[in-house]
Structure 1
């Protein structure tokens, strides 16, 4: 059975060995980014994952970018191309939706990519 922590690790490993890692000025992290970071950071976290034979869940990939629309377009294109129809062993994930959201306290924009995550639990 895949846990939410496993799902985060799988997506993190996929992105940490991808062109997105070299494209951002910061790093790729699980659950949170460094405090007061002013770099382009990628943060991966997972929503609940079912425990059925075909496990389903959601994984969020958030890309924090200082307010630069052109730069956000570039990073969103790189990330979505890397996260569309990925198969690794008995796991599959793909982009369900993408949006640009804002951190309420700071009004900092970020790219939000929600992945549908499936795992075969035999």
Structure 2
């Protein structure tokens, strides 16, 4: 049986050597996102781990993508509004989908369970939430 830390390490190794890391301009973390980061960062966290014959865990790999400043002209004034960076989200979603389609390690496999795009609580970025199924056999 693997600990949550072992599982994070396996996912980290898969992400660290991937096209996702070369595409983002931030860091990959197994703990938290750097404070006040305005970069495209990746954060890995284990959601739940079950100790059955084949150990299963769900792992989030969240990719943070800063929003764009979009100027609008309203009543003769320019107002700047944050909007999702659809182009970057699309690129990073596709890279993550390809990366997590199937990863096979010595004693484990990782597959993409679901992928969604969420607005962050800060209103400054959107998050690509990649929910992975990790199976240790």
TM-score normalised over the length of structure 1: 0.93
**Residue aligning to 1:61:** 61
> What runs of 5+ residues in structure 1 fail to find an aligned partner?
none
1:114 equivalenced with 2:131 (yes/no): yes
Distance 2:2 2:9 in 1: 10
Bigger strand share: 2
Instruction: Write the mapping of 1:1-122 to structure 2, written as runs, cut at 5 A.
Output: 1-67=1-67, 68-104=85-121, 106-107=122-123, 108-120=125-137
Distance 1:32 1:65 in 2: 15
> What runs of 5+ residues in structure 2 fail to find an aligned partner?
68-84
Greater Rg over alpha carbons, structure:
2
Distance 2:18 2:116 in 1: 21
Q: CA deviation at 1:31?
A: 2.4
Q: Report the aligned-residue RMSD.
A: 0.9
Tell me how many residue pairs correspond in the alignment: 119
Q: CA deviation at 1:80?
A: 1.3
TM-score normalised over the length of structure 2: 0.83
Distance 1:65 1:76 in 2: 11
